[in-house]
Chain A
Amino acid sequence: MTRLQNKANIPDSDSFYEEFLDLHQGCSRDESDALNVSLILLLANHIGDHEVLREAMQVAAQVVLGSKPEP
């Protein structure tokens, strides 16, 4: 069974985080939203595993909304 990686998995995570924020430098709210959504789509396609993606959605919903979405 594939599982969502919830242990730290990005070497040099500080620099990744910085790059991520830099990407949004000088962007309007709309541009930032569009960037984020495009990133989600690209990364989701790269992962490709529907199970893993579903688990990520559930974890995000749990953290943000305090609940799991209906499957």
Chain B
Amino acid sequence: MRTFETPLYPYERSPDQDASMPARHPVVVVGAGPAGLAAAIDLARRDIPVVLLDENDRVSYGSRAICFAKRTLEILDRLGCGDEIVDHGVTWSRGKVFFRDRCIYEFDLLAEEGHRRPAFINLQQYRLEELLVGRLRDLQSEGRPVELRGGSRVTKVEPAAASVLLTVETPEGPYRLEAEWVVACDGAGSTVRRELGLEFAGRVFEDNFLIADVTMKADFPTERWFWFDPPFNRGQSALLHKQPEGLWRIDLQLGRGVDREEEQRPENVVPRLRQMLGDDVEFELEWISVYTFQCARIDRFRHGRVLFAGDAAHQVSPFGARGANSGIQDVDNLVWKLERVLRGRSPDSLLDSYDAERVPAADENILNSTRSTDFISPKSETSRLFRDAVLNLAETQPMARPLVNSGRLSLPHVYLDSPLQSPDTDGLPARTRPGSPAVDAPVGDGWLLARLGDRFQLLALGNCAAETGCAGVPAGIRREAPASGSSAALGIDVPDDEPGLEVVSQPAGRHPLLNERYLGDAPGALYLLRPDQHVAARFTDYDPERIADAFRRARARETDDP
């Protein structure tokens, strides 16, 4: 049996089904796809009790996402399963672009040095989900409060004053649950979204795409090959991409109004693949399916006590690999906020910033993938004319190559207009400005990002670092999350319910890449980092009042009366 056909979390009866009143839970996550699994894992790690419901009992069926970007891998590191996932994946950097019957150019995406994780890996979505389920099981065996209920389909969602009532359909009949917060990760066809009567507005693309996964008998280069208008798929496009375990992904654009059943028959698919791969390449078909897509989102991702993430909130075209990646990034943004609100450390308006930050991120993804789609399948005579001219020029003129758009690498969104972030300080590098995710860099014998995340931190660099003691931050400040209130060591007032700021310090001189990415020409800097590793504020001198002010803003607190 193939991985995606094996039951991983079969339905089991829950005591909640026999309760006389609906059992109350702080958080119920609906849908165990990449977004829902990541949400449940992050909540459980924070000891927030979470129930994860899925109508199914196994990983995503068949072949879907294959490309997972660096920021996602960094989040998976924070969730404690980055190594397993990266070890299962393959990395590649070389590719070829074909136009009609010829290769017009080759490329090598040289990765920037000094990052723990590559720009992306290729891995089957079902394998990623399997590894996430494994991580969730490990957390359970450590005694973390997380439950994964298979065969549990949410059919009804009724928002009440201080909770949400869910009706869950199971093989043994329905039962009800009461959730303080619902995280809706139930995919593009979201029941929760429909139940709340929310519109999913956007643009539907009528092109059909055929995906085939094949195993090759002989060696084939680990490269990404993209064809525009190839002889074996006239007027359309094709993509060949490596997956782990000797698998290759083939993506053939079929155009509009095709007979989907007919196109999926092996006797129609195999001759095309022969033309594509060459007669001498032996291969075996593992999977064939046809998909279409839309680019759409709901107007707001927070609706009272229901928070939407992943495909339930937004859908994009697969070009540029943004669907699963952005779902995991949504959750990275959401979970620490939910924890703070549940623990009473921040007002629930902190959750409005989830909306304010992730809606523009979804729009950026939709924009990028729509641009790729328009390049790959031009919608007018003129756009085809320009597209073909770009491709013809690209063969000899390097100037045209950046215009060739067969999907852009998915990069994390920078929360530039976020209400949580403080005005920038002049003279520091742009790539680490407030709103950006912290950029990795080697430090000592490890990595910067491995030391960041999960709580608020003050990264003290150069002559602001604690060890040097010069520009203000007193030497010898603790490195561990302090007991309540002890941010006093920094001269920053923190209320009793607040774990405070942890200081991570890196003195000057030792790590050139760290300095380049965070200091530029400045002798020192202090970075206020959020629990999701995004920069909230930064300073070139030590001013406890400004730091306290930025810290307050980043937690959506009006005042910090201790």
Q: Give chain A's interface residues, CB within 8 Å of chain B.
A: 33-34, 37-38, 41-42, 45
Residues of B within 8 A of A37 (CB): 385-386, 389
CB atoms of B388 and A34 under 8 A apart: yes
Q: Give chain B's interface residues, CB within 8 Å of chain A.
A: 385-386, 388-390, 392-393, 397, 399-400, 403
Contacts A34-B389, A41-B399, A41-B403 given; 16 further ones with Cβ under 8 A?
A: A33-B385, A34-B385, A34-B388, A34-B392, A37-B385, A37-B386, A38-B389, A38-B392, A38-B393, A41-B386, A41-B390, A41-B393, A41-B400, A42-B393, A45-B399, A45-B400
12 of the cross-chain contacts (CB-CB < 8 Å) are A33-B385, A34-B392, A37-B385, A37-B386, A38-B389, A41-B389, A41-B399, A42-B393, A42-B397, A42-B399, A45-B399, A45-B400
B397, closest chain A residue (CB): A42
Total cross-chain contacts (CB, 8 A): 23
* B124, chain A: closest CB distance, angstroms: 38
Residue of B388, B389, B397, B399 with highest tally of chain A CB at under 10 A:
B389
B403, closest chain A residue (CB): A41
* B97, chain A: closest CB distance, angstroms: 16
Interface of B is mostly: helix
Residues of A within 8 A of B393 (CB): 38, 41-42
Docked pose: A61 CA to B393 CA in angstroms: 26
Docked pose: A41 CA to B392 CA in angstroms: 11
Docked pose: A44 CA to B461 CA in angstroms: 43
* A69, chain B: closest CB distance, angstroms: 14
A34, closest chain B residue (CB): B389
User: Which 9 residue pairs across A and B have the least CB separation, nearest first?
Assistant: A37-B389, A45-B399, A38-B389, A37-B385, A37-B386, A33-B385, A41-B389, A38-B393, A34-B389
Residues of A within 8 A of B390 (CB): 41
Docked pose: A41 CA to B386 CA in angstroms: 8
Docked pose: A34 CA to B392 CA in angstroms: 10
Docked pose: A37 CA to B44 CA in angstroms: 56
A39, closest chain B residue (CB): B389
Residues of A within 8 A of B388 (CB): 34
Residues of B within 8 A of A34 (CB): 385, 388-389, 392
Residues of B within 8 A of A33 (CB): 385
Residues of B within 8 A of A45 (CB): 399-400
* A22, chain B: closest CB distance, angstroms: 20
Docked pose: A43 CA to B390 CA in angstroms: 13
Residues of A within 8 A of B389 (CB): 34, 37-38, 41
Docked pose: A42 CA to B397 CA in angstroms: 9
A46, closest chain B residue (CB): B399
* A42, chain B: closest CB distance, angstroms: 7
Residues of B within 8 A of A41 (CB): 386, 389-390, 393, 399-400, 403
Docked pose: A38 CA to B392 CA in angstroms: 9
Docked pose: A33 CA to B388 CA in angstroms: 11
* B394, chain A: closest CB distance, angstroms: 10
A37, closest chain B residue (CB): B389
Docked pose: A37 CA to B381 CA in angstroms: 12
Residues of A within 8 A of B399 (CB): 41-42, 45
Docked pose: A37 CA to B390 CA in angstroms: 9
Docked pose: A47 CA to B392 CA in angstroms: 20
Docked pose: A48 CA to B393 CA in angstroms: 17
* B525, chain A: closest CB distance, angstroms: 31
Docked pose: A31 CA to B385 CA in angstroms: 10
Residues of A within 8 A of B397 (CB): 42
Docked pose: A42 CA to B392 CA in angstroms: 12
Docked pose: A45 CA to B400 CA in angstroms: 8
Docked pose: A24 CA to B58 CA in angstroms: 62
Docked pose: A33 CA to B399 CA in angstroms: 20
Docked pose: A45 CA to B403 CA in angstroms: 10
* B398, chain A: closest CB distance, angstroms: 10
* A24, chain B: closest CB distance, angstroms: 15
Docked pose: A44 CA to B281 CA in angstroms: 43
Docked pose: A45 CA to B397 CA in angstroms: 11
Residues of A within 8 A of B386 (CB): 37, 41
* A70, chain B: closest CB distance, angstroms: 16
* B467, chain A: closest CB distance, angstroms: 45
Docked pose: A68 CA to B400 CA in angstroms: 27
B392, closest chain A residue (CB): A38
Docked pose: A37 CA to B391 CA in angstroms: 12
Residue of A33, A34, A41, A42 with highest tally of chain B CB at under 10 A:
A41
